[in-house]
A and B are shown apart, each in its own frame.
Chain A
Amino acid sequence: MNDVFKYRAPTSRAELFGMLAAHGEGAKILAGGTDLLVDIRSGLVRPELVINLKKVEDFSELAWSQSEGLIIGPATTVNDVLHDAKVRDSYPLLADCALTIASHQLRNRATVIGNIVHASPGADMAPGLLCLGARVQIASQRGQREVPLKDFFTGVKRTVLSHDEIVEAITVPTSTARSRGSYRKLKRIDGHDLALVGVAVTSTDGAVRVGIGSAAPTPLLIEGLTDEDPADAVVAAARDAIRPISDLRCSKEYREYMIEVFVRRLLEEVR
């Protein structure tokens, strides 16, 4: 890194919250670092203090409980989720999403929560987590709050988090366990690439949900559809919600077209 910053690795929540409160905007959380270190190197982010949260006790936990469902911790990596037996059994859609992220060695470091907090429109964990009704558990020295994932994103790389807050967990309710559905990611090459578009469709007890990435400033969730709705109605709802742009990866029109193709294919799969 060219920029000079200090590094700390607190081992308790209290220590971590204290550092964040004391340093304000000058402090940045380091989870897997696969977004943060790229942003620091390019000069986009210039922290005075980088706080590694992976050493905090219990933060790597990936747990499951009947009352809270799946609990993803701040140090849970994308590969942890990909290889977890409970995820594969009850939330296979999340394993689908995880497998599409970067390369194996990056997934050994990249965290699920980092993917969500970075809030890229194309974050590959987002469409699946949105469809499954994930909730974001936020904590700071001031206390705790919970926000549905669909209300967490506020713009391109923007979220409801303030500087002293962390995401302590992302929880996925038991009510969406064993939903049918999968994730399709369109890339330019077979190897690792960011999504041109990413679409997830689920069917849970008759309710159909569509999660879409790289189609608007934030990942999108389309709700209020049922198994009875014809495919044309689901496609129309998706078309209403998206606001794609043309960029170096592809044109707006191609995005619109491929989202429709993926929604139709994925719907056929869940029906």
Chain B
Amino acid sequence: MWMSVEVNGHIYEREVTEHWTLLRFLREDLELTGTKDGCSAGECGACTVMLNGEAVNACMVLAAEADGATVETIEAEAVDGELSEIQAAFARNYAVQCGYCTAGMVMSVRELLRLNSKPTVAEIKEGIEGNLCRCTGYQQIIEAVLDVSGQINNGTRGGLKYV
């Protein structure tokens, strides 16, 4: 099918394989490999991207469904090599280890903060419920979210006492 989709501000017009997922289209056709494939089954959240401004699992959407849509991926987070606020908070709080979950995690945090600018720890846990991380134990990620939403200061950073 011929389709037109805006990804990270660029408009792509091209033939899309009708049985491909949006995840496969992003990674293999557009070579935007920042978005990861963890399970291909909606379980892990590594493939989370923004579709028309809302977080979705790219493995649970057909590429063809994005015809006429706007997509944002992790590649749009940093601007001119400058980390976004969420990315910087992840780095500051050691919220990244192997990094496989990070792209999806950052997208989910962006969605959470879009809907709730000062989430509580319980709300953060709910917001990242669909993103599995096998390395960090989540605590550093939760701290990164508290940090980027202005709920943590230098004195309390790294204490994990909020979690």
Which residue numbers of A lie inside 8 Å of B, CB to CB? 1, 3-7, 9, 30, 32-34, 37-38, 41, 50, 52, 54, 102-106, 108-109, 190-192
Complex Cα spacing A102 to B57, Å: 12
Within 8 Å of chain A (Cβ to Cβ): is B83? no
Task: Count A-B pairs with CB separation below 8 Å.
Answer: 81
Q: Are A37 and B62 in contact (CB under 8 A)?
A: yes
B5-13, B125-133, B139-147: which lies at the interface: B125-133
B41 within 8 A of A: yes
Instruction: Given the known inter-chain contacts A30-B62, A34-B42, A41-B41, please indicate yes or no for A105 contacting B67, CB distance below 8 A.
Output: no
- Contacts of A109 on B, CB cut-off 8 Å? 56-57, 60-61
Residues of A within 8 A of B162 (CB): none
B73 within 8 A of A: no
- Tell me whether B15 is interfacial, beta carbon within 8 Å: no
**Which one of B17-25, B27-35, B94-102, B150-158 is at the A interface?**
B17-25
B: number of interface residues (CB 8 Å): 30
B55 / chain A contacts, CB cutoff of 8 Å: 104-105, 108
Which residues does chain A contribute within 8 Å of B54, judged by CB atoms?
A: 108
CB of A104 within 8 A of CB of B60, answer: no
| Contacting residues, chain A, for B62 (C-beta < 8 A) | 7, 30, 33, 37, 50, 52
**Chain A contacts for B21, CB-based, 8 A:** 1, 37
Q: A33-B62, A34-B60, A104-B55 are in contact. Are A7 and B111 (CB under 8 A)?
A: no
Interface residues of B (CB under 8 A from A): 1, 18-21, 40-42, 45, 48, 54-57, 59-62, 64-65, 67, 108, 111-112, 125-127, 129-131
Complex CA gap A103/B41 in Å reads 13
Residue of A nearest to B52 (CB): A108
Alpha-carbon gap, A191 to B129, bound state (A): 6
Residues from chain B with Cβ under 8 Å of A103 in the complex? 45, 129-131
A191 CB contacts on chain B under 8 angstroms? 125, 129
Q: Which residues of A contact B57 (CB under 8 A)?
A: 34, 105-106, 109
State A77–B42 Cα separation when bound (angstroms): 16
Residues of the A chain whose Cβ atoms lie less than 8 Å from the Cβ of B67:
9
Could you tell me if B61 and A105 are in contact, using CB atoms closer than 8 angstroms? no
Give A69 Cβ to nearest chain B Cβ, in Å.
27
- Residues on A with C-beta less than 8 A from B45 are 103, 105
Q: Which residue of chain B lies nearest to A190 when distances are taken between CB atoms in the complex? A: B125
Is A1's CB under 8 angstroms from B130's CB? no
Instruction: Please give, as numbers and ranges, the residues of chain A lying within 8 Å of B1 by CB-CB distance.
Output: 7
**Interchain CA distance A5-B1 in the complex, whole Å:** 12
Per a CB cutoff under 8 Å, which of B19, B41, B64, B108 touches A105? B108
Complex interface: chain A residues within 8 A of B61 (CB): 33, 109
Which listed residue (A37, A52, A54) contacts B60, Cβ 8 A? A37
